[in-house]
Structure 1
Amino acid sequence: MYPHRVLLVVTGLSPQVVTETAFALAVQQQPPFVPTEIHLVTTAEGAERARLTLLGEEGALGALADEWDVPGLRSALDESRIHVVTGVDGQPLPDILIPEDNARAADLITELVRRLTASPATALHVSIAGGRKTMGFFAGYALSLYGRPQDALSHVLVPPELEQHPQFFFPPRRPRVLFGRDTKPIRAEASAVRLASIPFVRLRHGLPDRLLAGQATYAEAVGSVGAVLGAPQLLVDLAQGRIVAGGVAVPMPPVQIAFAAFFAERRAMLPDGEVAVSWRDADPKRFLELYASLVGPGHPTSARIAALLAEGMPKEWFDERKARHNKLVEAALGWNAAPYRIEATGRRPHTRFRLGLPADAITLRW
C-alpha cells in the first residue's frame, strides 16, 4: 500500500461523483483504496457546489466517512484541493464553452497529473465520471502520458434514476428508498454503485526529463509522445540557429548547433561509406564555417575556437562536444533520442562517429 493515495476527479455540476467514487474505492474495492487526498478539477459553479455539498461537518464526504467507518475520507478534501479552470484573464470560468477555455482545462489537468505522479510514494487514481466530456478525455489522456504502474483510471457507474439525484451521494449502509422527480420510489443500496476500471496505455517512459520535472502544457506533452511514434526527422536550421528533432526543439548553444550541423551535413551529403568521422580526420575548417554562419563573421568566439582547432580537432574537445550533443537530445526527447544521437561505429582503435538516421530524414537550412 502506498503511503500517499490520491483520488483525482473531474467534476461539473454533480459533486456526487466524488463521494460515489470514494465509496467504490474505499468500501467496495478489495483491497480498499482509501484516498489520503482528493483533488477536484471543475468550473467556478462546480467548485461552489462541491464546497456546499461535500465539505464541512454536514458535508457528504464526512457523512460517508462516518456511515461506512472510513475516517480518513473526512480530511481528504479541502478547498485548497479544488482546482478551478480559469480563463485567459485568470478569472474562474463558470463553464467551458470556447476552444480557449478547453485548452486552459487541458493544461490545468495535465500539470496537475504531472505533479501528482512525481513522487514514487504516491498512487494516483483518476476518475473521469464527471465534468464535460472533453475534461474526462484530458484527464484520461494525461494519465496515459504520466501514469505509472501503481496508477489507475476509472468511471463510476450509477443507475440512471440515481444519477444526479439531489439526495444520493453514496449508498447507505442500510438500504433505503428515495423518490425521483416523478415520485417513483428508488431503492438506494450498495449495489447501486459500481466502479468500472479503464485500462490505459502508459507512455511516461517516452517523455523527456524536462516534461517530467517541469511544468508542461497538454500540447507539449502530446507533441513529445507524437514525436516518439512518428518517423525521425531532423531539421538543422542555421538561418534561425536551431535544431528540431522529431518536431521538438532541442536547446543548444551555437557551438553545439554547429557541431550537430557538421555531422548532419556529412550524413545528408556523403555516401554511406564516408559519413563516419573521428577526431583525427574531422575537418575543423568546415566546422568553423558552420559556426561563423551562426554567430556572424568576426565574432569574438570565432577567433578563440579557430586557435583551439588550428591543428585539427583535439580528441578531448571532440569527445566533449559529442557527449554534450547526446546529453542535450536525451534531455529534450527522452526515449526518442536514439535516432538523433551521434553514435560510434567500428572497433577500437578505428572507432568513428556519425548520425545514424537516414539521409532523407535530414533537412538543412542555411
Structure 2
Amino acid sequence: MDNHRPTSFSRRILLAVTGLSPQIVTETLHALAIGHDDPFVPTEVHLITTAEGAERAQLALLSDKPGWFHRLRKDFGLPEIAFDGDHIHILHDASGQPMADIRSPTDNLACADFITEKVRELSADPESALHVSIAGGRKTMGFFLGYALSLFGRPQDRLSHVLVSEPFENSWEFFYPTPYENIIETAGKKLVDTQRARLSLAEIPFVSLRHGLPTALLDGSARFDATVAAARASLGPARLEIDLAAREVQAAGHRFRLPPAALALLAVFARRAATNEAALAAPLKDVPDPAWAERYLHELRAIVGPLGDIGSAERALRAGMDGSYFSSQLSKLRSAIRRALGPAARPYLIDDGGRKPHRYRLALAPEAVRLHP
C-alpha cells in the first residue's frame, strides 16, 4: 500500500480559505468525494475567513435552512464530517480583533501569520492528510495558504483549485451539482438546472520545504516571515559563525548556544576549515593522544575564559585524548546541532569521510566559516 496515499489516513482534513462565497466548501467537497476517481472523503473541514465570511458560511452551509453542507452529505450519503462553528477560524488583526477585510500591510502580515500557524498546527499530526483548497477568499489569502503548504506540507498533503462549469460560476444560488432537478437563476439572469453542472479539481503540485525547517518551528508556533527565513537559510549556501565568548553558533539562519564541551570540539574543526587544513584522524581507542588533547583544551580555555573551571576536562585529558573520549564528545555535538537545526543540520555536522580509516573534518569552504573573537 502507498504509505502517502491521502485516502489511507485516518484523519483527513479539508482546509479552505473563503471570503464572501462559502460555496467553495461544498464545490470542493463534491469534487473530492463524489467526482474524483480516488474519492477523498474528509473526516473534518476547516475554514479560514474574515468575520463576514464566517457569518456567511454559518448561514449558508451550517444552518437548518438552506444548510447546503448538510444537504450535500444527505444527497450523496456521505458519512459524518466534523464541521461546525469551531472549525471556522476567523482572521485576527495585529491587535487581536476579528478582521473584517485585509486592507493594510499590517493586516496582510497578520493574515500570513494566522494562515501559516493554522497549516503548521494541522500538519503536525502524523496521522493526518491535508487537502488544501485555494479557490476562495482574496488572492492574498490563497497565496499565503499555498505558500504555507509548501513550507509545512508532507507527501500525503494535496493542494487544489476547484473549477465550475459555465453558467454556474459566480452564481450565489449554486453550491454543487445536485443528483435531482434544481432550478436556479444564474448571475446572467438565466434559469438553469444544477443537475447539469460540472465540477473539476485542478490539483496543483507544490515543492515541500518542510525538511529544511528546524524542529523548533515545526513543534512551536510559526510566524510567516520567520518560517520563510528558515526555509531560505536551509536552501541557501551553508555559513557558520561561532562566537566563542558568547558561546553562540549561527547557522542555517538560526542562532543557538552550545555547551562549552561541544562548542570546543566544533571550534577545533571550524578553525581548521577556516584555514583550509586537512581532515584529522580520530584518536585511537584506549590510546591517549596529547596533540588531540591540546587542540581541544585550547578551544575550551578560550570559551570559558581565565576564570572558568575546566579542571575535570584537564584531569581527564592529562595523558591525552583517546578514542572513547573523542567519540563521546562528537556524538554530543552532533545531537546538539541536530536539535537546534533539524534537517538543516547536515552541512554543519562533522564529516568522517564515509569510509575507513575515518578522517574527520567540517566540510565547509574557508570563506563560509568565521570564528570570533
TM-score, normalising length: structure 2 = 0.86
Contact in 1 for aligned 2:17/2:137 (Cα 8 Å): yes
Q: Which of 34, 37, 42 is 2:41 aligned to?
A: 34
Q: Deviations over 1:130-161 (max 9, x none)?
A: 12222212221222233233221110112475
Establish whether residue 297 from structure 1 lines up as the match of residue 306 from structure 2.
Answer: yes
1:103 is aligned to 109
User: In 2 relative to 1, CA 328–190 (structure 1 residues): closer, same or farther, beyond 3 Å?
Assistant: farther
For the 8 Å contact 1:277–1:354, the answer to whether it is kept is no
Partner of 2:152: 146
Residues 105-137 of structure 1 show CA distances to partners (whole Å, capped at 9, x for unaligned) of 223322322332333432211100112222212
Structure 1 residues 295 and 154, CA gap change in structure 2 (3 angstroms): same
Q: Which residue of 2 aligns with 1:230?
A: 236
In structure 2, the partner of 1:195 is 201
8 Å CA contact retained: 2:247, 2:257: no
Please say if residues 110 and 139 of structure 1, whose CA atoms lie closer than 8 Å, have aligned partners that are also in contact: yes
Instruction: Give the match's secondary structure for 1:189.
Output: helix
Determine which of 124, 127, 134 is the counterpart of 1:128: 134
Residues 233, 63 of structure 1: alpha-carbon distance in 2 compared, 3 angstrom cutoff: same
Question: 1:320 — aligned with what?
Answer: 328
Question: C-alpha displacement at 1:276, in angstroms?
Answer: 1.8
- Cα distance change on mapping 1:258 and 1:97 into 2, 3 Å: farther
Alpha-carbon spacing, 1:290–1:157, altered in 2? closer, same or farther (3 Å) = same
* 2:339 aligned residue: 331
After superposition, give the CA deviation of every residue in 1:285-308 in whole Å (9 maximum; x if it has no partner). 554454444444313x33443444
Post-superposition Cα deviations, 1:150-183, rounded to whole Å, max 9, x if no partner, equal: 2211101124753442222222222443224553
Identity of matched residues, %: 44
Contact 2:245 2:304 (8 Å CA) reproduced: no
Mapped partners of 1:196, 1:305: distance in 2:
62
Name the structure 2 match of 1:10.
17
CA distance in 1 between partners of 2:189 and 2:243 (Å): 70
State the partner residue of 2:98: 92
Give the aligned length: 360
Aligned residue for 1:195, secondary structure, equals strand
Unaligned stretches of 5+ in structure 1?
none
Q: CA 1:176 to 1:346, structure 2 compared with 1: closer, same or farther past 3 Å? A: closer
Within 5 Å, give how 1:139-288 maps onto structure 2: 139-159=145-165, 161-181=167-187, 183-269=189-275, 271-272=277-278, 275-279=279-283, 280-285=289-294, 287-288=296-297
Q: Are 1:16 and 1:164, in contact at CA under 8 Å, matched by a contact in 2?
A: no
Q: Is the 8 A contact 1:250 1:328 kept in 2?
A: no
Q: 1:184 to 1:282 in 2, by over 3 A?
A: farther
Once structures 1 and 2 are overlaid, which stretch shifts more, 316-325 or 276-285? 276-285
Partner SS for 1:48: helix
- Equivalent residue letter for 1:298: L
Pair 1:76–1:195, CA change in 2 (3 A): same
Supply the distance in 2 between the matched residues of 1:359 and 1:194 (Cα, whole angstroms): 54
Segments of structure 2 that go 5 or more residues without pairing to the other structure are: 1-7, 284-288
Q: Give the whole-Å Cα distance in 1 for the aligned partners of 2:159 and 2:57.
A: 21
1:7-58 per-residue CA deviation (whole Å, 9 max, x = no partner) reads 0001122111111111111111123211110011112221222122211332
Native 8 Å contact 2:151 2:209 kept in 1: yes
Distance change in 2, residues 1:46/1:292 (3 Å): farther
SS at 2:360's partner residue? strand
Q: 1:104 to 1:295 in 2, by over 3 A?
A: farther
Tell me how far apart the structure 1 counterparts of residues 261 and 103 of structure 2 sit (CA, whole Å): 47
CA root-mean-square deviation: 2.6
TM-score w.r.t. length of structure 1: 0.87
- Residues 37 and 227 (structure 1), Cα distance of their counterparts in 2 relative to 1, 3 Å cut: same
Q: What is the aligned partner in structure 2 of residue 25 from structure 1?
A: 32
- 1:297 maps to a residue whose letter is P
1:85 counterpart letter in structure 2? L
Q: 2-side partners of 1:126 and 1:226: how far apart?
A: 23
Change (3 A) 1:12 1:361: same
Query: Contact (CA 8 Å) 1:5, 1:124: kept in 2 or not?
Result: yes
- Secondary structure at the aligned position of 2:249 is classed as strand
- 1:197 deviates by 1.1
